[in-house]
Amino acid sequence: MDLVVDASVVVKWFLEEEGSDRALVLRDDFVAEDVKVHAPEILPFEVLNALRGSAAYPLERALQAQLALEQAGFQIYRFEGDLARRTVHLAYERRLTVYDAAYLALARHLSIQLVTADDSLLRIGGRDAIPLGDYSSHAPT
């Protein structure tokens, strides 16, 4: 299964927050290669920025998180061409930040679903976005 995940999900891989249990199930499926994770190139920036604001992530721990993100194996997409145009259009049309619009635009560009814990993206995303809380494992049984 292929999914786009946004920073609101990946941050929960590092910080214990509401929804971290579901985020860790998705992470485990990703590590087991039962799910392929797609993301715009801004994902590590957003995740590390969120970690920077947490007392649980001093510099050394943040550097470990950066390396983990680098080595994770996300399918990363550059902000260019049709994807960039879709992102900007969506941001303006739906009054989203360009950051948030990038995730939804990528999901639509790839014709796959976005998993998010961001309520505004869920409202705007319609059937292209699913709440993190609704994610269930795709591991073979």
CA gap 60, 17 in Å, rounded: 21
pLDDT of residue 141: 58
Tens of pLDDT along 38-83? Answer: 999 999 999 999 999 999 999 999 999 999 999 999 999 999 999 9
The total number of structural domains in the chain stands at 1
Domain-embedded: residue 72: yes
CA gap 21, 101 in Å, rounded: 25
Domain-embedded: residue 41: yes
Boundaries of domain holding 58: 2-134
Domain-embedded: residue 93: yes
CA gap 12, 95 in Å, rounded: 25
The CATH number of the domain holding residue 128 is: 3.40.50.1010
Residue 38 near residue 73 (C-beta atoms within 8 A): no
Tens of pLDDT along 3-26? Answer: 999 999 999 999 999 999 999 999
